[in-house]
Amino acid sequence: MRFELMVAIRFLKESKTQTVLIMAGIIIGVSVQVFLSALIGGLQTDIVNSTVGDAPHITLSASENRPFSFLSEQKDTQVFSSVTQSRSRRNIVSYNEIINTLKNDQRLSAVSASVNQQAFVTSGGVQSTVAVRGIILEDGDRIFRIDQRLLQESGSLTGNNIYIGVGLSENNGLEVNSILEMQNSQGISSFFRVAGIFDFENQQANDTIVFMNLTSAQSFFDMFGMISQVDMQVPEVFDAQMISESLSVQFSDYEVISWQETNQQLLAALQSQSGSSFIIQFFVILAITLGIASVLAINVVQKSKQIGILKAMGATGSMASRIFILQGVILGFIGSLIGVVSGYFLLQGFIAGTSSVTGDPLFPIEISASILLISIMVATTASTIAAAIPARKAALLDPIEVIRNG
């Protein structure tokens, strides 16, 4: 330990009220900061997950064909427009090579070939449109997680088996094992067996989507050897844009689109939320910094006698300034340490208070160690900077002023 540290600690102990008040300021500031950033972070993750979690992050198609989320909780009809989008799509021929290349791409966590077509269902004389998705279940599951959403199931997605949403099943009185007649756009009918009923917690998806085996879809829609698009997921949703751009170059004959391109409004909303959270945190840090600076400025005045006498006895200016820098470091470090801990407990309390009866939190709240560490580092750095002005004053203090004026 250095002498400066000993003096700094004594000074802080001696001015107890000031120390406690500024410490309280730092603790409150930092805990609010931790609480806020975890809350907003969690909220954003929740929004992003519900938007694109169980949907393609990137799609590759021959013509314009946007990835969409039929799981979105928001009644965002724009997002859904693609589900009911009408024909005139070109298809991808000889897709095996593309699929193989993509499946070997380490950046992608899921790759699924799909046929997307509209078909018509007649029930009680009323004709309605459904969106058929022909997939290989094993691949499609990794994107849409259909297996987790099936309420009832009596067989895999093979042959003439189809999975329909709860909405479609209720509207048309269909149950598991019911037979459903569908018509393609050419007016050709075929019969299918309902092998599962899913609930995507989204009305439009539940009312219109029909999953079908890829091969069956190809034959039903007369698309032998063709698919409509390739759906992909990436491990980190926000990397999708970057990966999509690189895939665009790699598959220049096709159109590759990321979820970000189709959800720009959402992204803008997230960004402005992050921005306002950043501004709040900035002002919290600024308030802490100003608080420490003013407390230490007062401290320099209060302790000018001691500083002067230390210098008269041979302390250098840099030694005097270190006493105040160290006070800043101590205040910032201990304050933010306690702040981070109390912020953590605040969050735990919030999670406990807002959890549903099952104990699941309202939405996932992320408390990462790195955020806590960064908070401590930022607050400590800010405090050190705040101490610089008083420290400079201490360094420049002329001992003769103190000795002359008693």
Partner 1 sequence: MDNAGTKNETIIQVKHLDKVFGEEVKNQVLFDLNFEIKRGEFLSLIGPSGSGKSTLMNILGALERSTAGEVIVNGKNINNLNDKDLAEFRNQYLGFIFQFHYLFPEFTALENVLIPYYIKDFSRKPEIINKANKLLSLVELEGFENRKINKLSGGQQQRVAIARSFINDPQIILADEPTGALDTKTSRAIMTLMRKYNEETGATFIIVTHDREIASGTQRIVELVDGKIHKDFLPSEIGEATAWEELERHACVDCDTMKQQKQVKKDENFGKNKNDCKTCP
DSSP-derived secondary structure letter, 110? E
Distances (CA, A) of 40 to 271, 338, 339: 11, 21, 18
When the beta carbons of 302 and 342 are compared against partner 1, the nearer one is 302
* Choice from 126, 249, 313, 357 touching partner 1 (CB under 8 A): 313
When the beta carbons of 4 and 231 are compared against partner 1, the nearer one is 4
Decide: helix, strand or coil at residue 104.
Answer: coil
Stretch that binds partner 1, among 105-113, 222-230, 302-310, 342-350 (CB under 8 A): 302-310
Does position 256 interact with partner 1 (CB under 8 A)? The reply is no
Q: Find out whether 339 and 375 touch, Cβ atoms under 8 Å.
A: yes
Site for partner 1 in 203-222 (CB under 8 A): none
Does position 400 interact with partner 1 (CB under 8 A)? The reply is yes
Stretch that binds partner 1, among 10-18, 61-69, 99-107, 118-126 (CB under 8 A): 10-18
Decide: helix, strand or coil at residue 74.
Answer: coil
Q: Find out whether 28 and 343 touch, Cβ atoms under 8 Å.
A: no
* Choice from 11, 198, 211, 254 touching partner 1 (CB under 8 A): 11
* Choice from 6, 151, 179, 373 touching partner 1 (CB under 8 A): 6
Does position 192 interact with partner 1 (CB under 8 A)? The reply is no
When the beta carbons of 243 and 319 are compared against partner 1, the nearer one is 319
* Choice from 110, 162, 230, 315 touching partner 1 (CB under 8 A): 315
Instruction: Number of helices (H) and strands (E) in the chain: give both, helices first.
Output: 16, 12
| Nearest C-alpha neighbor of 62 from the set 91, 97, 95 | 91
DSSP-derived secondary structure letter, 62? S
Sign of the CA dihedral with 156 first, then 161, 165, and 166 last: negative
* Choice from 53, 317, 333, 392 touching partner 1 (CB under 8 A): 317
Report which residue type is found at 209: I
Does position 187 interact with partner 1 (CB under 8 A)? The reply is no
401 membership: H or E segment, kind and range: helix 399-404
List residues near partner 1 by CB under 8 A: 1-3, 6-7, 10-11, 13-14, 305-306, 308-317, 319, 399-400, 402-404, 406
